[in-house]
Amino acid sequence: MPTLNKIRAVLNGTAPHLSGTPLTALRTAITAFFAVDGFVFAGWVVRIPAIKAQVGASSGALGLALLGVSAGAVATMVITGRLCHRFGSHPVTVGCAALLALSVALPPLTHSALALGLVLLVFGAAYGGLNVAMNSAAVELVRALRRPVMPGFHAAFSFGGLVGAGLGGLLAPHLSPTRHLLLLTPLALLVTAVAGRTLLRHPTPHAQTAHSAPARPRSGSGARWLVAVFGLIALCTAYGEGALADWSALHLTQDLGSGPGLAAAAYAPFALAMAVGRLSGTALLERFGQTRTLVLGGLTAASGMLLGALAPLPWLVLTGFAVTGLGLANIFPVAIARAGALAGPGGVAAASTFGYGGMLLGPPSIGFLAEAMGLPLALTTVALLAAVAALIAFAVRNAEPCPAD
């Protein structure tokens, strides 16, 4: 009878898809999209100084133009959640990735800050849409696999960013921004075409058995409240990532008198530790559960950032940055995964918007606080928000039972 039931399930299209080649192929394809997202975005970031000089923008005008990335991303994130509901996360992921690949070549073609800001709206829209769509696809796959593999996808993003930044550093002395970023377009389109075939060929997986319907996201005020809570946790960790990206080098030069070489490498220990931490994220989640992973991660990041902000020696500061990266590594992926499990693509969109807002809030907040109390004390707010994330995670530990807890 069990064998007969399996045959009937296959014939009826209700057989469980919790393992095997289709899910392995989907996992590989989604990982590729995370990697290309980080690769393309990092390639753009390393050429910002050259493009600033090309368009002749002042620092203030460049700052306004760069808001185009943020505005485009935030405006698109909520819409993308609805598109994923209607058309599925797989086609939306492929479409947004193609748009990102094409739009990254546009900034070096501009010759004014206004034109740069307008094309960055398009680039930001593609970037924000891809982040929501691929995270939604990842959440659906995590549910089907019944394993907490979300950190692995975000590790691919981190490593893609490291490769993109490293390649950009090598090419910058030899290629103009136009040629460099135009080179990224066919590379990203190739990955999109290859990985996209897998996504478009296989439907969204569901964790189900022959006798049960697939689990569906919850709705209602309780689910929306919890999505907001996990979005707040994502904001706390993204605040630290944005702050360290923009202020770590200045902290070493301004407050500790380090040379330009060491200062230029200030962000590297943090980024590398975050990537490595995400590689081990699945093992941590399977051993400790989601709540303990969030709490321990937040407390680790808080202690590391206190060392990084207040230590008197550069090597201690760099050690603190690395510990902070390890602590923050898995908080954002887990928060996004929990929001997606609660409310589907809409939950991913809401939590991602919170998180992206934190990344935008971090750098200017640190700047204002540094004016008032000095940069070292301003950087301790990263530790404060990491501790807040740990406290929130502990406070809602029983609000939504989860198999991984």
Task: Report which listed range, 7-11, 302-306, 357-361, 372-376, is most confident.
Answer: 302-306
Residue with tokens 């991303």: 73
The predicted model gives 154-169 an average pLDDT of 85
Q: Which tokens is 376 given?
A: 């070292």
The predicted model gives 81-86 an average pLDDT of 87
What interhelical angle do 314-328 and 221-250 show, nearest 10?
160
Asked if the model's pLDDT at residue 12 lies above 60, the reply is: no
pLDDT of residue 121: 93
Report the 10 Å Cβ neighbour count for 379.
Answer: 27
What interhelical angle do 267-279 and 150-171 show, nearest 10?
150
More confident residue, 225 or 262: 225
CA distances from 148 to 153, 232, 405 (A): 11, 21, 11
Band of residue 261 on the pLDDT scale cut at 50, 70, 90:
low
- CA 310 from chain centre, in angstroms, equals 28
The predicted model gives 120-133 an average pLDDT of 92
pLDDT of residue 73: 85
Distance CA 241, CA 143 (A): 27
Band of residue 13 on the pLDDT scale cut at 50, 70, 90:
very low
The mean of the pLDDT values for the chain is 82
Band of residue 49 on the pLDDT scale cut at 50, 70, 90:
confident
Domains and CATH numbers, the chain: 18-201 (1.20.1250.20), 221-395 (1.20.1250.20)
How does DSSP assign 257-278, residue by residue? ---HHHHHTTHHHHHHHHHHHH
Band of residue 18 on the pLDDT scale cut at 50, 70, 90:
very low
Contacts with 316 (C-beta within 8 Å, 6 or more apart), sequence order: 307
More confident residue, 247 or 176: 176
Band of residue 213 on the pLDDT scale cut at 50, 70, 90:
very low
The predicted model gives 174-180 an average pLDDT of 90
pLDDT of residue 254: 79
Phi, psi for residue 56 in degrees, rounded to 5: 65, 35
Asked if the model's pLDDT at residue 182 lies above 90, the reply is: yes
More confident residue, 241 or 192: 192
Residues recorded for the chain? 405
Phi, psi for residue 20 in degrees, rounded to 5: 100, -175
Residues 328, 362 contacting (CB under 8 angstroms): no
pTM: 0.77
Distance CA 56, CA 53 (A): 5
Distance CA 343, CA 285 (A): 21
Instruction: Identify the CA nearest to 357 among candidates 271, 226, 237, 250.
Output: 237
